Amino acid sequence: IFDTIEFLKTGAKICVISFHSLEDRIVKNIFRDGARNEKLRIITKKPIVPKNEEICYNSRARSAKLRVAERI
């Protein structure tokens, strides 16, 4: 992910879906480091998770977390 950020143009957004807590922690830390270095602006302070309706329809979605950041 970190290398991908370097290829983004200013104003481009990066969206990452993680399915495991370890993956989510890695994404969260990379986004946080990018924000500290003034390369990213975190759009989602907390991850977006599926609603109960979607989990009932698709049980595999229950662990999904979406994080979004923008290149500055």
**Structure tokens belonging to residue 54:** 């979607």
16 has which bridge partners? 67
- In order of their start, the domains of the chain are 1-71 (3.40.50.150)
Average pLDDT for 5-12: 93
Query: Mind listing the pLDDT tens digit for each residue in 54-72?
Result: 999 999 999 999 999 999 9
Query: Would you say residue 35 has pLDDT above 90?
Result: yes
Return the higher-pLDDT residue of 7 and 3.
Answer: 7
Element (H, E) at 69: strand 65-71
